């Protein structure tokens, strides 16, 4: 059983939902990333999405783009991100790390080298935003042969026939994008999300995470009532952006605890 | 002879092209693909397109024999395909009309566009005004400064111009921002991409709408000189004017196709926008796989060109393919060489060319010198230079 599967299995047995915070590697400074990962776990994160900075993050809103820009000032490339995962893994062998990013840094490194290094570093899942399933069959096979999960997005506009195609290639969990837009955009429509998540469950037994519009504890709670996991990205990155170095860890932990409590109250 | 038949059904030109977008855009692109397939051979749609090209744009654009320039250069005869004479001053209008007509048929009341030099933005604002569509144009904040007259033109035409402050604040960032708008407003918005890049079906569709340039040129050259030119030369940023004139010539043997990229301060300085000539690695950006200027981490690097319209780190996937199969050749021209060619055309022919097109002219001059007077070089004069006079004046330290 992969680390991602076992997290979902354990939570299910406890009747709980997963909290998955997102941070961008190297934001605000590379020195902060590994301590932040540990701090998130300590404050209640079940799994972490670690963003790989990219110069042109087309699917992200301004908040996460600024995080990428802050990280890129420090030349935060994919190789260094993998180094951070390795460092985190040295003292944490249980919390899954999902890398979230764009295709080009992976292609620049070469997909097979990336998969080998990711495996060695202890990466559990990879979500490549601009790799729809039709364009990444070989990459998917490479990930599978290294026992790394392929996480795919489903959107409000994804037709059932396409969901069928995606769930066939997806492993670990599915990530339902709760709104039409970029990360951190307008508020999500919980009634619509509920309906779509129910539809997706007809087509797959994989756990479903929901993200792209979870702005506060109240939304996190609503989403937790529907989904298996709540992904919080822009809100988390905003907390990082608004903190000076001395308050960074405490602020991020306070937010994580608040979200944890909300999710557990379902 | 096997006829050229690209791309494949999913928009691949060999290893290039494709649909590399987030899931949130997949359905919108699929809808567009289906609708374009439905209309691309529809006689009524094509007739409406042809009518607007003739009566609104002023097509066919003439071909002009630049005799004085040819004599001055010495060597082959230089002919100019006068896209600069189109309504709005460049080839960009051909494509925006095609896409706007499609937007209307798809029932989308709002169009958005990205623009670099502003020509595509102006062309989009123009057709939006004519068809009564709401229009929003994204433009890098740097380019807004560089191209103030075009910004004002767009506003006069009723468009909203949004300066993009992220990243390098140029064309690629405007494209990112337009994509974000599209993802958010998919149900009522049509994204009019201005070049032969982006996810499928854009590279194919923009090529098809621009192919009118090459189709006319083939007829006109036959009429004027009784044969086809020895070489066709066009500038390449994303590559839409070049694809437009190259495409109908791909199956014509004996015609060299030469794309001219922006060499900026020179390829050795790294400050250029010439991914094909500089042998940049293959990568994925803006929905397609192509040659891409990037650093070792796969981040896109900032490009430089005197001409905003060529200042793009990638290139349309079909150009990448034509390079690989050796059907087209690609070269680079520096800022300085382009400026010299700009002044040359002004003084010898009474035509002020766009800075972008000046790159093609500069290479045509180089090439013509190596050829004999009975040979012919056809240059796609993709736009007029009125928009560039501020830049030219600034370079000469003249305040207008």
CA of B17, closest CA in chain A: separation in Å? 10
Instruction: Tell me, yes or no, if B22 comes closer than 8 A to chain A by beta carbon.
Output: yes
Q: Which of A61, A108, A162 sits opposite B283 (nearest CB)?
A: A108
Name chain B contacts of A65, Cβ cutoff 8 Å. 166-167
Kindly provide the ipTM of the predicted complex, given to two decimals: 0.95
Name chain A contacts of B295, Cβ cutoff 8 Å. 77
Q: Closest chain A residue to B289 measured between Cα atoms? A: A104
Please state, in angstroms and rounded to a whole number, the distance separating the CA atoms of residues B8 and B2.
15
Q: What is the mean pLDDT of residues A1-13?
A: 96
- Describe the crossing of helices A160-169 and A190-203 by its angle, rounded to 10 degrees: 60
Cβ neighbours of B282 (radius 10 Å): 17
Active site residue B369: no
For residue A70, what are the contacts with CB-CB under 8 A and spacing of at least 6? A24, A26, A27, A28, A29
- What SS3 class is residue B323? helix
- What SS3 class is residue B69? helix
pLDDT tens string A187-204 = 678 899 999 999 999 999
Q: How far apart are the first and last CA of chain A?
A: 27
pLDDT at A45: 98
pLDDT tens string A61-119 = 889 999 999 999 999 999 999 999 999 999 999 999 999 999 999 999 999 999 999 99
HEC readout, chain A: CCHHHHHHHHHHHHCCCEEEEEEECCCCCHHHHHHHHHHHHHCCCCCEEEECCCCCCCCCCHHHHHHHHHHHHCCCCHHHHHHHHHHHHHHCCCCCEEEEECHHHHHHHCHHHHHHHHHHHCCCEEEECCCCHHHCHHHHHHHHHCCCEECEEECCCCCHHHHHHHHHHCCCCEEEECCCCCCCCCCCCHHHHHHHHHHHHHHCCCCEEEECCCCCHHHHHHHHCCCCEEEECHHHHHHHHCCCCCCHHHHHHHHHHHHHHHHHCC
Instruction: Tell me, yes or no, if A266 comes closer than 8 A to chain B by beta carbon.
Output: no
Name chain A contacts of B166, Cβ cutoff 8 Å. 62, 65, 69
Q: Is 70 exceeded by the pLDDT of residue A185?
A: no
Q: Which two tokens stand for residue A261?
A: 């409590």
- A contact residues 70-109, partner B, Cβ 8 Å cutoff: 72, 75, 77-79, 102-109
pLDDT at B1: 53
User: Is the Cβ pair A180, B286 closer than 8 Å?
Assistant: no
Closest residue by Cα to residue A46 from A86, A87, A5: A5
Name chain A contacts of B182, Cβ cutoff 8 Å. none
Name chain B contacts of A213, Cβ cutoff 8 Å. none
Best B20, B178, B184, B300 residue to mutate vs chain A (most A CBs within 10 Å): B20
Best A63, A135, A233 residue to mutate vs chain B (most B CBs within 10 Å): A135
Nearest-Å Rg of the Cα atoms of chain B is: 19
CB A203 within 8 A of CB A197: no
Name chain A contacts of B174, Cβ cutoff 8 Å. none
Q: Which of B186, B187, B283 sits opposite A104 (nearest CB)?
A: B283
Please state, in angstroms and rounded to a whole number, the distance separating the CA atoms of residues A125 and A130.
16
CB B68 within 8 A of CB B368: no
Name chain A contacts of B297, Cβ cutoff 8 Å. 75, 77-79, 105, 108
CB B377 within 8 A of CB B367: yes
Best B297, B313, B317 residue to mutate vs chain A (most A CBs within 10 Å): B297
Q: Closest chain B residue to A154 measured between Cα atoms? A: B23
Instruction: Tell me, yes or no, if A254 comes closer than 8 A to chain B by beta carbon.
Output: no
DSSP state of B294: B
pLDDT at A184: 67
Burial class of residue B3 in the structure, from the number of CB atoms within 10 Å of its CB (0-12 exposed, 13-18 middle, 19+ buried) = exposed
Q: Closest chain A residue to B179 measured between Cα atoms? A: A58
Cβ neighbours of B8 (radius 10 Å): 12
Instruction: Tell me, yes or no, if B298 comes closer than 8 A to chain A by beta carbon.
Output: yes
Instruction: Count CA within 13 A, CB hemisphere, residue B116.
Output: 23
Q: Which of A27, A31, A46, A49 is catalytic?
A: A49
User: Is the Cβ pair A152, B166 closer than 8 Å?
Assistant: no
Cβ neighbours of A239 (radius 10 Å): 20
Ordered per-residue pLDDT tens for chain B, 400 residues: 568 999 999 999 999 999 999 999 999 999 999 999 999 999 999 999 999 999 999 999 999 999 999 999 999 999 999 999 999 999 999 999 999 999 999 999 999 999 988 999 999 999 999 999 999 999 999 889 878 889 999 999 999 999 999 888 888 889 889 998 998 898 999 999 999 999 999 999 999 999 999 999 999 999 999 999 999 999 999 999 999 999 999 999 999 999 999 999 999 999 999 999 999 999 999 999 999 999 999 999 999 999 988 989 999 999 999 999 999 999 999 999 999 999 999 999 999 999 999 999 999 999 999 999 999 999 999 999 998 998 899 888 998 8
- pLDDT category of residue A252 using cuts at 50, 70 and 90: very high
Q: Which two tokens stand for residue B77?
A: 């005869």
- Pairing of β B77-82 and β B63-65: antiparallel
Active site residue B92: yes
pLDDT at A116: 98
Q: Which two tokens stand for residue B268?
A: 């050795």
User: Is the Cβ pair B286, A58 closer than 8 Å?
Assistant: yes
Instruction: Tell me, yes or no, if A225 comes closer than 8 A to chain B by beta carbon.
Output: no
CA of B235, closest CA in chain A: separation in Å? 25
CB B250 within 8 A of CB B4: yes
pLDDT at A179: 78
The alpha helices in chain B, defined as continuous H runs, are: 23-39, 43-52, 67-73, 92-105, 119-131, 141-146, 148-156, 171-184, 202-210, 212-225, 240-246, 317-324, 335-349, 355-369, 389-395
Please state, in angstroms and rounded to a whole number, the distance separating the CA atoms of residues A214 and A25.
20
User: Is the Cβ pair B299, A72 closer than 8 Å?
Assistant: yes
> What is the length of chain B?
400
CA of A157, closest CA in chain B: separation in Å? 6
Q: Closest chain A residue to B285 measured between Cα atoms? A: A104
| Cβ pairs A/B, distance under 8 A | 124
- A contact residues 178-217, partner B, Cβ 8 Å cutoff: 180-182, 185-186
Name chain A contacts of B23, Cβ cutoff 8 Å. 132, 152-155, 158, 166, 177
User: Is the Cβ pair A56, B172 closer than 8 Å?
Assistant: yes
Instruction: Tell me, yes or no, if B27 comes closer than 8 A to chain A by beta carbon.
Output: yes
Closest residue by Cα to residue A47 from A90, A83, A87, A100: A100
This prediction has a pTM of 0.96
């Amino acid at each position: 059983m992969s680390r991602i599967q076992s997290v979902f299995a354990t939570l299910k047995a406890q009747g709980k939902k997963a909290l998955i915070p997102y941070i961008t590697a190297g934001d605000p400074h590379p020195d902060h990333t590994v301590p932040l990962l540990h701090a998130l776990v300590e404050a209640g994160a079940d799994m972490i999405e670690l963003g790989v900075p990219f110069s042109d993050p087309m699917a992200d809103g301004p908040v996460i783009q600024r995080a990428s820009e802050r990280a890129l000032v420090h030349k935060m490339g994919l190789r260094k991100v993998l180094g951070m995962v390795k460092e985190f893994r040295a003292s944490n062998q249980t919390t899954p790390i999902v890398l979230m990013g764009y295709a080009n840094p992976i292609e620049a490194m070469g997909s097979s080298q990336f998969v080998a290094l990711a495996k060695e570093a202890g990466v559990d899942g990879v979500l490549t935003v601009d790799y729809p399933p039709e364009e990444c069959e070989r990459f998917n096979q490479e990930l599978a042969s290294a026992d790394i999960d392929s996480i795919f997005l489903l959107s409000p506009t994804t037709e059932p026939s396409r969901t069928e195609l995606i769930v066939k290639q997806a492993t670990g969990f599915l990530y339902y994008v709760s709104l039409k837009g970029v990360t951190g955009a307008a508020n999500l429509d919980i009634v619509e999300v509920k309906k779509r998540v129910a539809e997706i469950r007809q087509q797959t037994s994989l756990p479903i995470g929901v993200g792209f519009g979870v702005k506060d504890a109240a939304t996190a709670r609503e989403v937790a009532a529907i989904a298996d996991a709540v992904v919080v990205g822009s809100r988390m990155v905003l907390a990082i952006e608004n903190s000076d170095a001395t308050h960074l860890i405490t602020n991020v932990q306070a937010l994580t605890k608040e979200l944890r409590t909300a999710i557990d109250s379902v | 002879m096997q006829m050229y038949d690209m791309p494949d059904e999913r928009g691949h030109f060999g290893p290039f092209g494709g649909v590399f977008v987030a899931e949130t855009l997949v359905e919108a692109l699929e809808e567009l693909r289906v609708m374009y397939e439905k209309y691309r051979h529809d006689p009524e749609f094509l007739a409406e397109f042809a009518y607007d090209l003739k009566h609104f744009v002023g097509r066919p654009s003439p071909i002009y024999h630049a005799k004085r320039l040819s004599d001055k250069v010495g060597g082959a005869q230089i002919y100019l395909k006068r896209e600069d004479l189109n309504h709005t001053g460049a080839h960009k209008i051909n494509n925006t009309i095609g896409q706007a007509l499609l937007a209307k048929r798809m029932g989308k009341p709002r169009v958005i566009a990205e623009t670099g030099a502003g020509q595509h933005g102006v062309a989009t604002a123009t057709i939006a005004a004519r068809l009564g569509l709401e229009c929003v144009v994204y433009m890098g904040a740097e380019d807004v400064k560089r191209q103030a007259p075009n910004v004002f033109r767009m506003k006069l035409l009723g468009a909203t111009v949004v300066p993009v402050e992220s990243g390098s604040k140029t064309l690629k960032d405007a494209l990112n921002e337009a994509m974000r708008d599209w993802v958010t407003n998919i149900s009522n918005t049509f994204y009019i991409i201005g070049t032969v890049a982006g996810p499928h079906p854009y590279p194919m569709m923009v090529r098809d709408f621009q192919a009118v340039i090459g189709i006319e040129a083939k007829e006109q050259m036959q009429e004027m000189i009784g044969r086809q030119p020895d070489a066709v030369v066009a500038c390449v940023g994303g590559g839409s004017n070049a694809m437009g004139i190259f495409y109908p010539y791909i199956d014509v043997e004996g015609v060299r196709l030469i794309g001219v990229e922006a060499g900026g301060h020179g390829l050795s300085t790294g400050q250029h926008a010439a991914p094909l000539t500089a042998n940049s690695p293959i990568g994925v950006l803006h929905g397609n796989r192509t040659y891409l200027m990037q650093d070792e981490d796969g981040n896109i690097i900032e490009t430089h060109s005197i001409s905003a319209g060529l200042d793009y780190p990638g290139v349309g996937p079909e150009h990448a393919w034509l390079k690989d199969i050796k059907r087209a050749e690609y070269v680079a021209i520096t800022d300085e060489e382009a400026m010299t060619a700009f002044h040359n055309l002004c003084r010898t022919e009474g035509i002020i060319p766009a800075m972008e097109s000046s790159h093609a002219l500069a290479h045509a001059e180089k090439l013509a010198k190596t050829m004999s007077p009975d040979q012919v070089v056809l240059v796609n004069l993709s736009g007029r230079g009125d928009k560039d006079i501020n830049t030219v004046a600034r370079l000469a330290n003249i305040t207008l």
